[in-house]
Structure 1
Amino acid sequence: MGKSPFKNSQNYAHIQYSAERSSTRGIHPWVTDIETKSIRAEACGKVCQKLKSQGFVPDIICGHPGWGELLGIPYVWPQSPILMYQEFYYNEYGFDSDFDPEFAKQQSDWSKKTQTHLKNANSLLNLQHATWNVTPTNFQRSSFPIQFHQRFSTIHDGISNHAQPAPDKSNIKVQAGKQTILSDQDQLITFVNRRVEPYRGCHSFIRSIPLIQERNPNAIIVIVGIAKGVSYGSPCPQGEWKDVFLKEIEGHYDPEKVLFVGQLPYQDFLNLLKLSRVHVYLTYPFVLSWSLLEAMSTGCAIVGSSTAPVTEVIEDNVHGLLVNFFDPKAIAAGITDLLHDGDRAARLGKNAHQRAVEQYSLERCLPRQLELINLVARKVIGA
């Protein structure tokens, strides 16, 4: 290998690059996705070619192919093995796009499904030249075409050991707005989304709020996440999803006991989970959120949706309670059961913590990740 151009005391460099062009106006909407990925691939490829001209040849290339940057790399360094972090493959049937009947009309048109199919162009091109692939969960692996499964390893990224149960919660305080400080004296129910959107069950959870409050009048519901826009799925056609669903239950719930706290600093987020009496996690058949595993690792009593990403990590009535994603009554009933049965909640929380530590902790996952990198770099696998 030639002399590395990377010069700093920690033996790595962060090299930035930027696109030289923007997306074409008037381009056919079906190919917008592959065009934006091609633009990134071009920018990344030029930087890598410059590195190659300086004598740098990587022993291994590790990257996330989802935004297109890896498309040209095999042709810059054709002899270097590539380990790709594969997150999700879009499917027209059986996964997220046709899961929710409430929004099925938005996805049922043949042109929408064709566009979903074409979004996989980048994924297929990268799968063809990946030496090996790694994905966090078996469910995510199952989303990819079966002919590629034999070139996958399933290894989670790993959950930080900072996500641990608190032996003593009496000293934990979390600021939730200017006037509210949460403590272990509060009967907290937590719900976390990166953004408050249907993909993560905001509609089902919000619709359960009146019944939760009716059965648990002292409960405080804390919703963590950005309440504007979407990370996944379609934008709300009538403003913001949160506002649409809160409008449905207007007059039937106490808004003073429903706190939307936005994004929290990580330590405040973990402290909130440590205080939580019940944590609710709902998701379409889609990428599993880290927040569920962090909640499990902190020992939360979980009420989760009985969807494939969740059933992979939670066995019903062992590591948490599983309920129908679409059933607000079942969600409220599960929460109420755990709030009223502290022993059961403690047992499920303890089991959840044990499973998270044994299967998804950073201490378990990182050595496996490093071993895989070494095997691919040495061309022991994938050759």
Structure 2
Amino acid sequence: MLIIHQNFPGQFRHVAKAWSERPGWKVVGIGRDTAPGMPELEKSGRLTLIRYKPHRPVHQEQHHYLRRMEDAVLHGQAVARILLALKAKGFKPDVILAHPGWGETLNAKDVFPDARLVHFCEWFYNVPAEGNGLDPDWQGADIGFDPEFPVTFDDRARIRAWNALHLLNLENCDAAISPTHWQKAQHPKPYLDKITVAHEGIDTENLGPNPRAAIKLPNGTVLRAGDPVITYVARNLEPYRGFHQFMRALPAIQKEHKTCHTVIVGGDGVSYGRKPEGAKHWRERMMREVGSKLDPTRTHFLGKVPYEGYKRVLQVSAAHIYLTYPFVLSWSLLEAMATGCLVSGSDTAPVREILEDRVNGRLVNAFDKGAVSAAALQCLLTLDDAAQDLRYEAQKTANARFAVQAGIRVFSQICFQSVLRPNVRRAA
């Protein structure tokens, strides 16, 4: 097995661990020099991780539509050199599982033509047409979704050029995986038969409610499960994850509920979209806009926190807010549900696939700050029995549909199809 991910292990943590523990299996990972890796498996010798770094950056004079494509070619070239070196040593993978979004597998089949190449197809960009109409196949995805950030012709041209990589990835692979049905549907129709829906899974066994959970904030405040605590989590605080809309709704929430605290987890980088103009990051930008209306003693930015601390934040949550563009579904939503949080989520396509209004959470129009604040307040004030029903159904959904073992099973079936003997495939 060869597992390739720029940020190794990324979405492949669980399958990498499971496969590396099988007797007689050899698992090799490839990731960038900045990837976190899996130190416990590497130290034990059960997994070999090879790191790479492109030999140069993208040329500054490169046409800006092609910068990401040149970057992908540089990533693919660096990985191809590793693959050629592995081949020279006699390594011949049966299966290559990869996230191709950075270009690492552009030449994988040139080196190992007989290996089964399985791509994790997380996203394909769809761009609205210029003017009032939309492309016939456009399904209302992230580009052009937020009227605060209108799409320019330059944006359209740049994104169409970037999709060239994703088309190459779809053409090159033998099979593909998308984590949700909606993410699969964003890909071009001629390739949909290649794609199987299979979520990689979250660690539901180590998540769940804890009535004794508590967190101590930097100012010394201690919050416990059962307190009126609003939580918001994102890898980075940015519009793609509705941070600007959440912050605009927060003053009304604090005005109406005099004792609630808000705990915000996330970094100040930009994972998706653009940086704010005139501010170092979106936290600074939104605090300039609404900070004077907030109670600083009840508004807590924790930045990025270790996983155990993040779990405790979810466990003390009375109302968890998840707002997102129509885009890649976040682990944090599923982990919040697995923890038994009462979730108020944006009424967008990827969330509707998981969250059903008044069944396992609440759906809200993220562009209506009044609706966002009202939904949060309703979560805080919901009677115990009704809140418990929603929390239970949220946890039930996460456990039934997104457990790690289910992800490992389906990933294995897709990767090993026509590679191993039938009885071995069944065991996998």
TM range (shorter): over 0.9
SS at match of 2:52: coil
| C-alpha distance in 2 between matches for 1:100 and 1:263 | 26
Confirm whether residue 99 of structure 1 aligns to residue 145 of structure 2. yes
Confirm whether residue 348 of structure 1 aligns to residue 390 of structure 2. yes
8 A Cα contact 1:131 1:376, kept in partner: no
Confirm whether residue 68 of structure 1 aligns to residue 103 of structure 2. yes
Q: Deviations 1:148-196 (Å, cap 9, x if unpaired)?
A: 1111111111010245333x523x2223215233222531110011111
8 A Cα contact 1:301 1:338, kept in partner: yes
Per the alignment, residue 127 of structure 1 pairs with: 170
8 A Cα contact 2:55 2:78, kept in partner: yes
How do 1:212-223 and structure 2 match up within 5 A? Answer: 212-223=253-264
Per the alignment, residue 84 of structure 2 pairs with: 49
8 A Cα contact 2:75 2:104, kept in partner: yes
- Identify which of 4, 27, 50 aligns with 2:62: 27
Per the alignment, residue 225 of structure 1 pairs with: 266
Q: Structure 2: which amino acid aligns with 1:247?
A: R
- Give RMSD over aligned pairs: 2.2
8 A Cα contact 1:158 1:365, kept in partner: yes
Confirm whether residue 114 of structure 1 aligns to residue 157 of structure 2. yes
Confirm whether residue 301 of structure 1 aligns to residue 342 of structure 2. yes
How do 1:1-383 and structure 2 match up within 5 A? Answer: 10-93=45-128, 94-104=140-150, 107=151, 109-166=152-209, 168-170=210-212, 172-184=213-225, 186-226=227-267, 228-239=268-279, 240-341=281-382, 342-375=384-417, 377-378=419-420
8 A Cα contact 2:204 2:398, kept in partner: no
| C-alpha distance in 1 between matches for 2:59 and 2:379 | 54
8 A Cα contact 1:189 1:221, kept in partner: yes
SS at match of 1:292: helix
Per the alignment, residue 137 of structure 2 pairs with: none
8 A Cα contact 1:40 1:67, kept in partner: yes
Q: CA deviation at 1:247?
A: 2.3
Q: CA deviation at 1:335?
A: 1.3
| C-alpha distance in 1 between matches for 2:186 and 2:261 | 37
Q: Percent identity?
A: 34
**1:154–1:185 CA distance, 2 compared to 1 (3 A):** closer
8 A Cα contact 2:225 2:318, kept in partner: no
Q: Structure 1: which amino acid aligns with 2:186?
A: S
Structure 1 residue runs without a partner (length 5+): none
Q: Structure 1: which amino acid aligns with 2:142?
A: D
SS at match of 1:103: coil
Q: CA deviation at 1:10?
A: 3.9
Q: CA deviation at 1:210?
A: 1.3
8 A Cα contact 1:163 1:297, kept in partner: no
Q: Deviations 1:58-108 (Å, cap 9, x if unpaired)?
A: 11111110011100111001111101111101111221110000111xx2x
TM-score (norm: length of structure 2): 0.83
